Amino acid sequence: MDHGLKRLIETLDWSYEEVLKEVRKDLELDKAILEKTLEETINVVQGESELKKTLEEAKKLLTVIEVKPEKVEANLLNFR
């Protein structure tokens, strides 16, 4: 009886360790996936930030450009 109980305990210990190994593998995989997703998200956000900066600079340039109606009119007269 003691021998059977001892083998049962050893089997349970072994099973427990195997389950822990699998859980650790899954956690490492989940961690790697999360890290990659986070890096990709950071890159997208940085890209959006750069795009936003570019658009803001373009908007500033548009405010600097001044359309003078008399120049447009003079240019159109050249085509007559």
Q: Please, what is the end-to-end C-alpha distance for the chain in angstroms?
A: 114
Report the alpha-carbon distance of residue 45 to residue 49 in Å, rounded.
6
pLDDT of residue 3: 80
pLDDT of residue 12: 92
Tell me the whole-structure pTM to 2 decimals: 0.47
Question: Tens of pLDDT along 38-62?
Answer: 888 888 888 888 888 888 888 877 7
Sequence length of the chain is 80
pLDDT of residue 70: 60
Containing structural domain, residue 21: 2-77
Question: Tens of pLDDT along 5-40?
Answer: 889 999 999 999 999 899 888 888 888 898 899 888
pLDDT band at residue 75 under the 50/70/90 scheme: low
DSSP the chain: -HHHHHHHHHHHHHHHHHHHHHHHHHHHHHHHHHHHHHHHHHHHHHHHHHHHHHHHHHHHHHHH----HHHHHHHHHTT-
Number of domains in the chain: 1
